[in-house]
Amino acid sequence: MNLVLIKHGKTDYSLNGKRQGRTDLSLNLEGKKEITELKEKIKKDYKLCFSSPLKRTYETAVILFPEMKVIKNDLLIEYDFGELEGIPFSMPFENFPDNKIKEFNDMKFLMPNNGETFEDIVDRCINFLEFIKGNFQAQDNVAAVTHSTNIEIFKALANELPWYKYLGDSRNFQGFIELNI
């Protein structure tokens, strides 16, 4: 089966380098423009399209697939940044002495208090892949509009690599990837 993972378009938070996590923002004008341009690059023969329940992903899905029913799926939701929601990624870690720092792929990640762990996202990604495998045929094309961290984890899982292999690789990624699962 071909699973096409699409990252949502830009929001005001993403333009300003802020952690948006579960903050439910709509696409801004630039985000709508980039998704409209992306529409020309994505093939159209999908069995179904799934979307994270957040506005930015659902709006992206509707722009890309206006004639297709888009199904919101909580397994595709973004990382919960807890108290770090809205905080710029550029803010020094020293400003958050009560938060843990974890390192993956030679990059440091500030862990949110009152938020999620990466393992929480991994569990959701595994459950989504199992759902897809159990409900679609090998020849089917399925689209899923989601978030960059989810895409990084899906990519590692599909390639049977450690879940953190691509963590942090796609912060500036805009577009889609195709996975054969």
pLDDT-derived band at 173 (thresholds 50, 70, 90) equals: confident
Residue 174 has pLDDT above 90, yes or no: no
Domains of the chain: 2-180 (3.40.50.1240)
Provide the percentage of residues in the chain whose pLDDT is more than 70. 98
Residue 43 has pLDDT above 80, yes or no: no
19 vs 44: which has the higher pLDDT? 19
136 within 8 A of 142, measured Cβ to Cβ? yes
Question: DSSP letter string over 36-95?
Answer: HHHHTTS-S--SEEEE-SSHHHHHHHHHH-TTS-EEE-GGGPPP--GGGTT-BTTS-GGG
Residue in the structure block whose two tokens are 């690059």:
41
Provide the percentage of residues in the chain whose pLDDT is more than 90. 91
Residue 44 has pLDDT above 80, yes or no: no
95: burial class by Cβ within 10 Å (0-12, 13-18, 19+)? exposed
Residue 72 has pLDDT above 80, yes or no: yes
pLDDT digits (tens, 9 = 90+) for 117-156: 999 999 999 999 999 999 999 999 999 999 999 999 999 9
pLDDT digits (tens, 9 = 90+) for 50-65: 999 999 999 999 999 9
